[in-house]
Amino acid sequence: MRIVPIAVALLLTSACSSETEPPPQEAPPAPRVDPPEEDPGKGKKGKGRKGAKKPPKPPAAPADCKVNAVVDDPNPKGLNIRAEPNGDAEVLGQIPKGVMLSLAGSQGSWVRFDKAWDPENEKEYPNGWVAGGLLTTTLKTPAEYGPDTQPKLRKKPADDAETDDLPFEPMPELTVTGCDGNFLKVKAKVAKGDVRVGWLGVDSHCGNPVTTCP
């Protein structure tokens, strides 16, 4: 019985079949799905992206007024007078400390004056805008108020607004920061740690602190 030829035939058949059969194909890759694009102006929960710039605040509405205040800038060169109510506007001149100004308007932290009195130098100054916070005023004297009357610091520039009494002693340090009508907006430093903000009407502040009020 011849077995060897049969075994050889089987081996040849197996080799041929392994060469002719194609290799198994891999499954095609799943199609790529891109994530949805986000709105660049939004972050989490629909809020603006972190670090996004906020829109600039609109400028404060201007107010007309007719009150007096005194320059209180310690700079020996004087307080800058500017053509517009901002720190980049043209400088028209300087006013020394102690000169009284007739205020005609206010916008934000700036006040506009239309007349200046400088009895010591008898000098004229161009009208313009000066920075609020570098002006001052004084309270009327106790004799002008009466024995039982206190200066009134109002919450709003109105005669019927809620008030806060200011003391005569010690006399508060007053810094003028704005004006509206016949009212001055002030910061009143009554004592250390006691600073009040409000409005002084003509019934409380001295109308002409240069000549009529001590």
**Secondary structure (DSSP) of 3-70:** -HHHHHHHHHHHHHHHHHSPPPPPPPPPPP-PPPPPPTT--GGGPPPTTPPPPPPPPPPPEEEEEEEE
Contact 105, 144 (CB under 8 A): no
> Is residue 191 in some structural domain?
yes
- What residues have CB less than 8 Å from 26, skipping those under 6 apart? none
How many domains would you assign to the chain?
1
| pLDDT number for residue 203 | 79
What's the domain range around 94?
A: 63-214
Asked if residue 26 is part of any domain, the answer here is: no
Q: How far is CA 138 from CA 29, 175, 214, in A?
A: 85, 9, 9
In a domain, 158, yes or no: yes
Is residue 31 a part of any domain in this protein?
no
**DSSP one-letter code for 91:** E
The answer to whether residue 14 is domain-embedded is: no
Q: What is the pLDDT of residue 46?
A: 46
pTM of the model: 0.68
Domain assignment present for residue 155? The answer is yes
The Cβ of residue 164 has, within 10 Å, a number of other Cβ atoms equal to 15
For residue 18, what pLDDT is reported? Answer: 46
Residue 73 lies in a domain: yes
**CA-derived radius of gyration, the chain:** 41
CA angle 105, 106, 108 (to 5 degrees): 165
Query: What local confidence, expressed as pLDDT, does residue 15 receive?
Result: 47
Q: pLDDT value at position 9?
A: 46
Q: What is the mean pLDDT of each run of 10 residues along the chain (214 residues)?
A: 48 47 56 52 50 63 91 95 96 94 95 91 91 91 64 92 84 93 94 92 74 57
Domain assignment of residue 143, yes or no: yes
Cα–Cα nearest to 67, from 184, 193, 175, 189 = 184
Q: Which helix H or strand E contains 211, and what residues bound it?
A: none
Measured from the Cβ of residue 202, the count of other Cβ atoms closer than 10 Å reads 16
3-state secondary structure (DSSP) of residue 205: strand
